[in-house]
Every structure is written in structure tokens, then in C-alpha cells.
Amino acid sequence: MGKKYDVDIQVMSKPKAEYVTDEYFELDLPVAPAVMVGDEVVVEGSDIAEIAIEQAVCRQLDLPPPEEKKSFFGKLFGSK
């Protein structure tokens, strides 16, 4: 996504045990796994679809949201 949009991406990865310490909770960060775009917590405690991250990046940059790609069945039956 860094190639498509002019954004800096920072990935933090630590052993799960480090995310359940008192020190981590004092930082007031979202529950891992999480995705933040700017100050917006896009998701916490679960996985997320790439399109949702891209939509959050577009909101942050005041760009129009990307078009969602239709699935095979969506194309076949005219829905998402």
C-alpha cells in the first residue's frame, strides 16, 4: 500500500505475552492484533480485510474510497 499511496507504514510485531502486560495497557493502545491508521483504530483483536485498511488510508488522506472488487459470484449475479 505504501507504493500506491504516499504514506509511511510502521509495523510493530512482538510476542503475544508483551501485549498483555500492565505496561502495554498503560500506553492506551488497542488490543493486539490491531490496525491503526493515524489516530483511528480500524480494527483491534481480530483480522481485517485489506480493502478495509485501504479505505481507512483513503479517509486519512481525504481521497475517494477505493472500489471494492466484486467476487466471482458477485460478478455472476450482479452483487458484491
pLDDT in tens, 23-78: 888 888 888 788 888 889 999 888 888 899 899 999 999 999 888 776 776 667 77
Amino acid of residue 31? V
Q: For the whole model, what pTM was predicted? A: 0.67
36 versus 80: which is more confidently predicted?
A: 36
What's the rounded Cα separation, in Å, for the pair 21 and 76?
Answer: 49
Instruction: Let me know: does 5 contact 57? Beta carbons within 8 Å.
Output: yes
